[in-house]
Structure 1
Amino acid sequence: MRTTLVTATAVALCAVLTGPSLGAHSGGHVATRAAMRAAVADGVPGVTATARDTHGTWQATAGVGDLRTDRPRSTADRYRVGSITKTFVATVLLQLEAEGRLALDDTVDEWLPGAVRGNGHDGRAVSVRRLLNHTSGISDYTYDEDFVRTYLLKDGFLEHRYDTVTPSELVAVAMTHRPDFEPGTGWKYSNTNYVLAGMVIEAVTGRPYGDEIRDRVIEPLHLRATSVPGTRAALPRPSSRAYSKLARTPTGPTYDVTTLNPSLASAAGEMISDSADLNRFYRALLGGRLLPPRQLEAMKTTVETREFAGAGYGLGLIARELSCGVRVWGHGGGIHGSSSEAVTTADGRHSLAFNFNGDWSGDSEAVVEAEFCGDPR
């Protein structure tokens, strides 16, 4: 499920095999290896994945990390995780609620007066909870045609890839459109919800949302590969190159989009991590290490999405039933040149995180299905 900044918008726009590189646990995962190779055969430049289960940690790569040099991907690659950022943001807001510093039923207008106004939008009718579970009805700025031309299609991206965009400017783009529905009467994924959620964190704490994520999540869990880059354009090393078609169809030339100013994603999708860190984060979250029981239960209380079969959306957390009956929790994410997934079982005993370094092809759902349903354990 690609719930992403760029690949959600890619619905409007249309997101040489190498042997696997093995980590601590090299047995099994035959179906996962095959799904990774199939993604590369489908056009993804390369894949890196890390899984952890009762047998230990397993890591593998397929394809290349650099189309120019044929350098393979690394299991230690840092990559842009896109909308996986949303789970981190929701976690911080739920921690603040546990501390009594805000309530999920506070309105957006209480914390951001006047930010959500215009064309039928009204922040006095939208709660923080409705931001987090996408029942606010607030328009998604990434579907604005001017935004698409400026930041997603080739000519605009190549001219504006290093521009800084403020959260308020992103919200203002959304306010030029009508709401998708009245708050609480439907569900639709909107990146604007999480830009606003990041702004609420700053209003509550007086600090940038990224600083709160760092102090509350990244440092306590020792997530050494994870960061909130702000306006920093480069990927930290080790990393692979990231590629996109920058077009409305998945054909035509391939462009290197590795460096970009991620402020265009803000709290909806700017973070960087690696597969091992993502597994550690979701295992800690589902294991109750980051939230008290009441807040974790609220996060896992899902609403029907309709847009994604077999899935429910909680507070920055997606639950889905796989074909074999296994239920996994996590999030997907994409941004220019990067498509990622991170999921874990509710007991935290089996987790998977992986990344495609191309945004126009590859079946991420097939990789998840292969890992949790493909091989007997």
Structure 2
Amino acid sequence: MTNPAIAANGLRKASEDKIVLDAGAATPGVAAPDSGAVPKAAAGQDRPELQKAVQAFVDSGFAGLQLRVHDQRGEWVGSAGVRKLGESAEPPTNGQFWAGSVTKTFTATVVLQLVAEGEIGLDASVAGYLPHLGLDRRITVRMLLQHTSGLFNYTGEYYDDGTVVAGIPATGKEWVDNRFRTYRPQELVRLALSKPARFAPGTDQNYSNTNYTLALLLIEKVTGRSYAEEMQRRILQPLGLSGTVVPGTRTQIPGPHAHGYYRYQDADQWKTTDVTRQNLSLLAGAGDMISTTHDLHTFISALMGGELLPAPLLAEMRTPHGKLGYGLGLFVQDLGPDCGGTVLQHNGSPPGGYGALMYSSPDGSRTLTASLTTGDAAIDLAQEFPKALEKLLKEVFCGGQAEVADKAEPAQ
């Protein structure tokens, strides 16, 4: 979600997995995260510049934001705005939220662990593992993780000439009316395969949720276990990520959380609805997880620190490719020599109500993780979000001094 084209009310285009709200039914056996009440000293009252950067999002029209920063000065947590419209309480500083496309980094990590174990070949044909789908045999596992497969994005495609090819409803009134519908991963992939490919495999790059739903199916086929089980076994349990959930078809956020809202047009009227509850099976493996700022920090810090992947595969993951500057499940962003150099990031924005930020220095020692929610304000997201994000990145990675390059990236 962090990136340029953040359309109308979805913090991005319909062709990607927008910025949505919160989800449903409680997850058995998953401990709810703490409420996020933090003593003022721990909340970093000595760093007013960070609180000011957080407030800038609210001032631009967002309902609320929670932020966690780890750097050479230690940990800082804070929030601004409201937890729920019409109330005065701020968002919980370790509340759960729909994490959107941050999920892709988790999915890529599991696939690369299987590569390390010799269960999957990074440059092997995906069709060899999933022969029943009728995939182009030229599409490799690497192409899925790198968004170079050419496969149609099942949430819709926007072409350079202005043509729009609809997919599964992921914006507007149609999404609002269908936001509790359950989709099966195979259904999502088959819809994508019923549409023309954007380009021949490996010849270009296009951000597509289809790639990561296929990665989910690949994980399940190779391991013989569900995606949720493998995620729990390989990442969530070892790292103690008790606030992170693979919800499946559940529609509720199980722990403390801020509410997310979606503003959409119904005939000639603009309406705002609470979309905290939603069914993100729409983005299976690509954008359906629930998490916390604490868990995202723990995950990205461990990943960058070499705890989850062997060094050669971590290096592959962090090597940018193509016009998106995308590695294997990560964006590689250059902030410039005066601003900490390179950061690794993946942000997320489900269809409505929520957004997530996850940034790290290459060694994992400096991280920024956040969640924001949209409310009932009419925000010019294409203008306001990048400005507020730039200010925040400057404070965390540039000491508030150097300018962050205005580099356009695809909405996530």
- After TM superposition, the score normalised by the length of structure 2 is 0.81
* Residue of structure 1 in register with 2:347 after alignment: 332
The Cα of 1:8 is off from its aligned counterpart by: 4.2
1:133 corresponds in structure 2 to: 146
SS of 1:328's equivalent in the other structure is strand
User: Match of 2:31?
Assistant: none
Rounded to whole Å, the distance in 2 between the matches of 1:40 and 1:163 is: 31
What's 1:196 paired with? Answer: 214
SS of the aligned residue for 2:357 comes to: strand
1:2 aligns to what?
2
- Corresponding residue for residue 406 of structure 2: none
**Distance between the aligned counterparts of 1:22 and 1:89, measured in 2?**
36
Please tell me whether residue 174 in structure 1 is matched to residue 188 in structure 2. Answer: no
In structure 2, C-alpha distance between the alignment counterparts of 1:23 and 1:195, rounded to whole Å: 43
Name the structure where helix makes up a greater proportion of residues.
Answer: 1
- Residues 138-147 or 335-344, more deviating: 138-147
Q: Secondary structure at the residue paired with 1:48?
A: strand
Q: Which amino acid aligns with 1:347?
A: D
Aligned length: 359
Deviation at 1:355, TM superposition (A): 1.1
Cα separation, partners in 2 of 1:23 and 1:105, compared to 1, 3 Å: farther
Question: Relative contact order: is structure 1 or structure 2 higher (C-alpha 8 Å, sep ≥ 6)?
Answer: 2
Structure 1: runs of 5+ lacking an equivalent: 307-311
How many Å apart are 1:239 and its aligned residue?
A: 0.5
Q: CA deviation at 1:104?
A: 0.6
The one-letter amino acid paired with 1:208 is S
- Aligned partners of 2:58, 2:95: CA distance in 1, in Å? 17
1:336-351 maps to which residues of 2 (within 5 A)?
336-351=352-367
Match 2:329 to one of 316, 323, 334: 316
Q: Mapping of 1:297-316 within 5 angstroms?
A: 297-306=315-324, 312-316=325-329
- The Cα shift of 1:61 comes to 0.4
- Aligned letter for 1:328? V
Instruction: Spell out, residue by residue over 1:321-361, the C-alpha distance to the aligned partner (whole angstroms, 9 max, x if none).
Output: 12543211121101121111101101211101011112863
How far is 1:114 from its partner? 3.9
Among 64, 70, 74, the residue aligned to 2:82: 64
Give the deviation of 1:25 after TM superposition: 5.6
Q: Please state whether the residue corresponding to 1:278 is helix, strand or coil.
A: helix
**Residue type at the aligned position of 2:280:** P
Give me the whole-angstrom Cα distance separating, in 2, the residues matched to 1:303 and 1:166: 30
Q: Which amino acid aligns with 2:345?
A: G
- CA distance in 2 between counterparts of 1:14 and 1:292 reads 32
Residue pair 1:231, 1:263 contacting (<8 A) in 2 also? yes
- The one-letter amino acid paired with 1:9 is K
**In structure 1, what residue type is equivalent to 2:389?**
E
The residue that corresponds to 2:397 in the other structure is 372
Q: Residue 355 of structure 1 corresponds to which residue in structure 2?
A: 371
**Is 1:91 aligned with 2:93?**
no
Query: Offset at 1:180?
Result: 1.4
Is residue 165 of structure 2 the alignment partner of residue 152 of structure 1? no
Structure 1 pair 40–239 and aligned structure 2 pair: CA distance change class (3 A): same
1:236-279 Cα distance to aligned partner (Å, 9 max, x none): 2210101122459xx93322100011101110000011111101
Q: Distance in 2 between matches of 1:330 and 1:192?
A: 20
Q: Do 2:263 and 2:271's aligned partners in 1 also have CA atoms closer than 8 Å?
A: yes
TM-score normalized by structure 1? 0.88
Which amino acid in structure 2 is aligned with residue 369 of structure 1? K
Native 8 Å contact 1:225 1:277 kept in 2: yes
- CA contact under 8 A between 1:21 and 1:61: conserved in structure 2? no
Alignment of 1:94-113 (within 5 A): 94-113=112-131
Q: List per-residue Cα deviations over 1:4-25 (Å, max 9, x = no partner).
A: 996443479995xxxx984626
- In the alignment, is the contact (CA less than 8 A) between 1:330 and 1:343 conserved in 2? yes
Residues 22 and 60 of structure 1 are in contact (CA less than 8 Å); yes or no, is this contact kept in structure 2?
A: no
Classify 1:14/1:303 alpha carbon distance in 2 versus 1 (closer, same or farther; 3 Å): closer
CA distance in 2, matches of 1:131, 1:76: 32
How far has the Cα of 1:178 moved from its partner? 1.5
Residue 344 of structure 2 aligns with an amino acid whose one-letter code is W
Asked if 1 retains the 8 angstrom alpha-carbon contact of 2:148 and 2:204, the reply is yes
* Cα distance per residue 1:290-327 (max 9 Å; x no partner): 01112111111220325xxxxx2110011101254321
Q: Which residue of 2 aligns with 1:187?
A: 205
Q: Secondary structure at the match of 2:215?
A: helix
- The question of 1:209 aligning with 2:227 is answered yes
The one-letter code sitting in structure 2 at the alignment partner of 1:357 is T
The secondary structure found in structure 1 opposite 2:308 is coil
State the superposition RMSD in angstroms. Answer: 2.7
Give the aligned partner of residue 309 of structure 1: none
**Which residue identity is paired with 2:215?**
A
Gaps of 5+ in 2: 20-37, 158-164, 403-412
User: Does structure 1 residue 38 correspond to structure 2 residue 56?
Assistant: yes
How far the C-alpha of 1:63 sits from its partner, in A, is 0.5
Aligned to 2:179: 161
Instruction: Tell me the SS of whatever aligns to 2:332.
Output: strand
Sequence identity (%): 36
The equivalences for 1:240-251 within 5 A come to 240-247=258-265
